[in-house]
Amino acid sequence: MSDYLQVATATETRAAAVDLAQSAVAARLAGSAQVIGPVVSVFWHLGEQGTAEEWRLLLYTTADRYDALEAHLLGRHPWSNPQVVATPIVAGSSECLEWLRQSVGAAGPTP
C-alpha cells in the first residue's frame, strides 16, 4: 500500500461534508480536505437503482492514519452505510507529501 492516500466519501448536503472535513482535519486524521459539488450519483440501494445529488468529500492522509480516519468518518457520517474508499497516491511533490505526513502527526507541521 502507498504511504499516502486520498479518501473519498459523499454526503447529501454541503454542510454535512464540510462538518466531516473540519472534524477530520481538526483531529489530525487528514492533512486537508476538499468538498466538491454538487455531483450527481447513480447507484444501487436496497435493490433499486437511484439517482441523487450529493457532495463529494476528498480527504488526504497517510496509510498509518487510514483506520482511524475511516472510523471517524463512519462514526460521524449521517448515513448508516456510507461509501468510504481510499486510493493510493502514487506520486506527488516531495514537499507536499512531507507536509501531509507532518500534518497528520500529533504535533502537526513544523513552521
In a domain, 22, yes or no: yes
Number of domains in the chain: 1
Does any domain span residue 54?
yes
Between CA 73 and CA 58 the distance in angstroms is 12
The answer to whether residue 39 is domain-embedded is: yes
Neighbours of 56 (CB within 10 A): 16
109, part of any domain: no
Question: What is the pTM (predicted TM-score) of this model?
Answer: 0.92
| pLDDT tens-place string over residues 44-66 | 989 999 999 999 999 999 999 99
Give the C-alpha separation, 33 to 59, whole Å. Answer: 4
70 in any annotated domain: yes
- Phi and psi for 27 in degrees, rounded to 5? -80, 0
Domain CATH for 36: 3.30.70.120
In a domain, 77, yes or no: yes
What's the confidence (pLDDT) of residue 106? 63
d(CA 63, CA 23): 19
Parts of the chain with a pLDDT under 50:
110-111
CA nearest to 76, candidates 28, 11, 30, 32: 11
